[in-house]
Amino acid sequence: MFVCKNGIDELNSIRYLWIEAFHAVALSGTTVGAAELLGIGQPAVSRHVASLERRLGLELFQRESRSLRLTAEGEHLLAEASDVLDGMSRFVRTADELRHMRRGHLSIVASSPIARGLLPPALRTFREAHPNITVALETVPRRELARRLESQHFDLGFVALPCDYPDEGLLPIAGFNGMCILPPDHPLAAAEVVHLRDLHNEPLIGLPTSTVWRMRVDAAFDELGLSFAPVVEAQVEIGDLVRAGIGLAIVDPFTAQTAQISGVIVRPLMPEITYEMAILFPVTRARSRLAQALAAQAQQTAVALQTLLHV
């Protein structure tokens, strides 16, 4: 809707209290009754109504002995006044809900392991405290991550490091140690810790070569003079493949947690391979209170998962 500058000036010069007083007088029929409704003095009500009439250039009430009756113009404006007051009430109520985080929506992008492992318990605890908050969670493949982050159409991002992103929007989370997962009947299941050398002649399952975690595993084997040559490369079915007895796998702690629930054995790995992640905030706009609250909850959940997985 186009509003000329003069129209804007007129709107800015009309005070909310004038409209409130007009509405109260229309409901009660007297300035005395309106004063009781508003909790202010009767002279103030009369001044507010008079100021509104003067500013609008309209007579809103006909004065009849001890009461006031709406004019035709006043009748027309009463509904508009009600809408203004209702709108202001909604405005204040919504601000209060936002202040206490009782309303809102969060858009989250996350890599697959974090979306499966860290976010479910973090979101469960977060929504227990904020049950009316809605969340949209999008799992983003690594190859699409740069484009998705560049769009800035998210409130929080959860990604593995390294990640090319401005430092002012990046919040690192303490590193996790990678784990070895293996079938329950495998001989290494009896070991307290699995060494990379123990896996040299074992059938292994790994992520595709383009992933950050695969590059870390390749580098760890290379440092020992070994080669990492998986018999199967997979993106998200690694736990199922291990449980089926196809091979062993070196995985991030979140994949290990999910696999452990399904009955796969999880063991610490030596030498340690560190899985590092970060929470990302948009850098083109201010951080919302909701986003900061969920980020804090995710950090707490990460610490709890470290203790649970003994990493």
Q: Cis ω on the peptide bond leading into residue 162 (within 30° of 0)?
A: yes
What pLDDT is attached to residue 5?
Answer: 46
What pLDDT is attached to residue 10?
Answer: 53
Give the span between the Cα atoms of 121 and 299, in whole angstroms: 11
Contacts of 82 (CB under 8 A, 6+ apart): 23
CA 255 vs CA 67, 85, 123: distances in Å: 75, 53, 17
Bridging pattern class, strands 179-182 and 265-270: antiparallel
What pLDDT is attached to residue 101?
Answer: 55
What pLDDT is attached to residue 4?
Answer: 42
What pLDDT is attached to residue 137?
Answer: 92
3-state secondary structure of 97: helix
What pLDDT is attached to residue 93?
Answer: 65
Q: What domains sit in the chain, N to C, each tagged with a CATH number?
A: 5-99 (1.10.10.10), 104-174+276-305 (3.40.190.10), 179-272 (3.40.190.10)
C-alpha 242: how far from chain center: 33
What pLDDT is attached to residue 118?
Answer: 87
Sequence letter at residue 15: R
What pLDDT is attached to residue 308?
Answer: 65
Query: Per-block average pLDDT, block size 10, for the chain (311 residues)?
Result: 45 82 90 90 93 92 85 90 83 65 79 85 92 87 83 91 91 87 93 93 89 88 93 86 93 84 91 91 89 93 74 43
Q: In what order do the strands lie in the sheet with 274-280?
A: 133-139, 104-110, 156-160, 274-280, 170-177
Closest CA to 280 of 56, 31, 114, 83: 114
User: In which element (H, E) is residue 68 found?
Assistant: strand 67-70
What pLDDT is attached to residue 7?
Answer: 47
